[in-house]
Chain A
Amino acid sequence: MTIAANSVEITQQIEWISAEQWRDSLASAHRQGWVCLDVLTAIDRPEQREFHVVLHANRVDSALGQWWGVVVPQHDAELASLVDVFKAAAWHERETREMFGITFTGNVVSHDPTAQGLLLSDEAPVTPLRKHVPLGARVDTPWPGNADPDPRRSASRRRQAPPGTRPEWFETGDGQ
C-alpha cells in the first residue's frame, strides 16, 4: 500500500526575490493584477541562520494564486514593509514580527519596539514560532515512546529523539 501524500505534486512554485527588491517586485506584481494579499508569514531556518518570508497573493480576474519568497538573515532580521502595496500586509507583518522577531521597516507598528502585541499574552514566550523556543506540551508531556516491553532495551541506549522536538529544548532543567 502506498501513501497518498507521496503522490501529491507541489504545483505552486515560489518566486524568490532578493531582500532589496522585495517591495518593488511586489509593487510590480500588484500592478500586474496580483492585488489580493492572501497570507504573509515566515519560516525559521536556524541551521541556515536565516528566515524565509513567504507571501501568497491572488488575482481577482481569475482563480490564480502565486507565492513569493525572500531570504532574511537572522543577524539582521529586517525587511521592507509592504503596507503601501497591500494594506492587508499591516496585520500579517505585525503577526510575523510577534511570532519570529522580524522587523518590517515602514510598518509603523511593527517598527515600534514598544508597540503592543497583536495576538500573544504577556505570559507567552517571546517569538514562539522560532524553533529554539520549546513547545510547552512537548516538554511537559512524557513521551509515550520511552516505554519499552523489553527491559534490556533501556531508554538510555536508544538514540531516537521524540518526534517534533529539538535537543536544545531539553538541555536545561532536570537533564531529561
Chain B
Amino acid sequence: MIEDIAIESRGTIKLSAPDCTSCMLCVRECPVWCIEIDSHTEQVTPEGARRPRSVAVLDAFTIDWGLCMYCGICVEVCPFDALAWAPSPRGGVGEAEQLVAGIEDLSG
C-alpha cells in the first residue's frame, strides 16, 4: 500500500501495481476517460485448494496526463488503495505522447 499523505498534496497520482486487481472501477468512473487498463485472467491453484481460481493479471495501466483533470475520483473509488495522491508534481514533457504514463512511470 502507498503511504498515506495529506489530501492537499495533489501533485500526481501514484499506482501500487501489486494492489491493483484490474477491477476497472477507476477506468469506468473517470469522467475524462484518461485511465486504461489491459489485463488477462490466469488460472491459479493455491496450495491445498481443490480447484483452480481465476486471478486477474495486470498487463498495462496508463494514465494520460493530457486528459486527467486531477479530480481524484479514481483515488476515491479504488477499493484496494492501489491509487493514491503523491506530493511531487510531474515535470513537463516535450511531446504529447509522453504524457501517457505506464505502470513503471506511475509506480516510481
Contact with B along A137-163 (1 / 0, CB 8 A): 010010111011111000000001011
Stretch from A1-9, A14-22, A38-46, A61-69 contacting the other chain: A1-9
When C-beta atoms are compared, the residue in chain A nearest to B58 turns out to be A149
Q: Mark A117-150, 1 if CB is under 8 A from B, else 0.
A: 0000000000000000000001001011101111
Q: Which of chain A's residues has its CB closest to B76's CB?
A: A3
Give every chain A residue within 8 A of B37 (Cβ-Cβ).
Answer: 144, 147, 149
Q: A149 vs B24: C-alpha distance in the bound complex, in angstroms? A: 9
Per-residue contact bits, chain B 36-54, to A (CB 8 Å; 1 contact, 0 not): 1111110000000000001
**Is there contact, CB below 8 Å, between B28 and A145?**
yes
A163 to B28, CA, bound (A): 7
Task: Count contacts on B: residues with CB < 8 A to the other chain.
Answer: 26
Given contacts A144-B30, A160-B28, 10 further A-B pairs with CB under 8 A are A3-B76, A4-B8, A144-B37, A145-B33, A147-B24, A147-B38, A149-B57, A150-B56, A151-B41, A163-B29
Instruction: Count A/B pairs, Cβ under 8 Å.
Output: 53
Beta-carbon contacts under 8 Å, B1-38 to A: 4, 7-8, 22, 24, 27-33, 35-38
Do most interface residues of chain B lie in helix, strand or loop, or is the interface mixed? mixed
A164 to B8, CA, bound (A): 26
Is B87 an interface residue, CB under 8 A from the partner? Answer: no
Q: Given the complex, which residues of B lie within 8 Å of A160, measured CB to CB? A: 28
Residue B102, interface by CB 8 Å: no
Cβ-defined contact, B33 with A1, below 8 A: no
CA distance A162 to B33 in the complex (A): 9
Residues of A within 8 A of B4 (CB): 1
A170 vs chain B, min Cβ distance (A):
15
**Which of B22, B27, B40 is the one whose CB lies under 8 Å from A145?**
B27
Q: Which residue of A lies closest to B62 (CB)?
A: A144
Q: State the CA gap A2–B28 with chains docked (Å).
A: 21
Which of B30, B35, B38, B54 is in CB contact (< 8 Å) with A150?
B54
A149 pairs with B39, CB closer than 8 A? yes
Specify the chain A residue showing the minimal Cβ separation from B5: A1
- The answer to whether B29 touches A144, judged by C-beta atoms less than 8 angstroms apart, is no
Given contacts A149-B22, A149-B40, A149-B41, contact A144 B31 (CB under 8 A): no
